[in-house]
Amino acid sequence: MTLAVLNHYMPGPLKQAARTAWQRQQMRRAMRRLVALPPGTTPERRLLDELRAAWDNEGFTADIDYLAEVARHAAQTPGPVLECGSGLTTLLLGALAGRRGVEVWALEHDPQWRRRVGTALRDHVAGQVYLWLSPLSDYGAFDWYAAPLPLMPEEFRLVVCDGPPDDTRGGRFGLLSVIGDRLPPGAVILLDDAARESEQDAVRRWTHAMPFRVALRRLPGGALAEITRC
């Protein structure tokens, strides 16, 4: 009997279980290759593609160009990393920065999603990541993560900004008000979805408040911005 015929007769729940098991195996395999890279090495796009497919969260996961930028910076950054909005990017940061001894702090507002990412970190990544449950909180003019500021590093060299979700009051603007004084010259913010009106507005307001150099890269599905503190 061919696989296609077997597949046809397999009941739905069994099919789903088989798919989940297959995806887990793909994830294990790809993560093993990622953590086997020598420290400081940027993974190839092909490996990122495999990770993205195995992670299986199409609607929310950053596209491949953003993942490639996150991986490139994570492999090289000398200092602490802050992530806003967790997911596959958190695994990349843990594997490429955390395992080099660089502190990684990830803020996540959704308890259920935090559980999924936390389980994957435990299963696949040996490096230290502080994946912090940070509900979206009222900061007056905007909402943003309730970050555990007293516990966090005094400086971040890299910020991976792919949250909070775009229906948050003020969008991603709050990052600079809450964390801005922890960004030394040379610190880089990688902003996903940078072509959206709310993110463009945030960048405009950030550059008025602080000296930044902004490099906008148009992508097939939007844009990413590399924003460097001058």
- Is 110 or 210 the residue whose CB approaches ligand SAM more closely? 110
Q: How far is the CB of 5 from ligand SAM (least distance, A)?
A: 32
Q: Which residues in this chain contact ligand SAM in the complex, by CB under 6 A?
A: 57, 60-62, 85-89, 108-110, 113, 162-163, 165
> Is the distance from CB of 61 to CB of 87 less than 8 angstroms?
yes
- Is 122 or 213 the residue whose CB approaches ligand SAM more closely? 122
Q: How far is the CB of 17 from ligand SAM (least distance, A)?
A: 19
- Is 38 or 220 the residue whose CB approaches ligand SAM more closely? 220
Would you call 1 helix, strand, or coil by DSSP? coil
Give the whole-angstrom CA distance, residue 81 versus residue 94: 10
Q: Are strands 212-219 and 222-229 parallel, antiparallel or unpaired?
A: antiparallel
Q: How far is the CB of 109 from ligand SAM (least distance, A)?
A: 6
- Is 109 or 182 the residue whose CB approaches ligand SAM more closely? 109
| Residues β-bridged to residue 172 | none
Phi, psi of 76 (to 5 degrees): -115, -20
Give the whole-angstrom CA distance, residue 84 versus residue 171: 12
Phi, psi of 164 (to 5 degrees): -75, 175
Q: How far is the CB of 101 from ligand SAM (least distance, A)?
A: 23
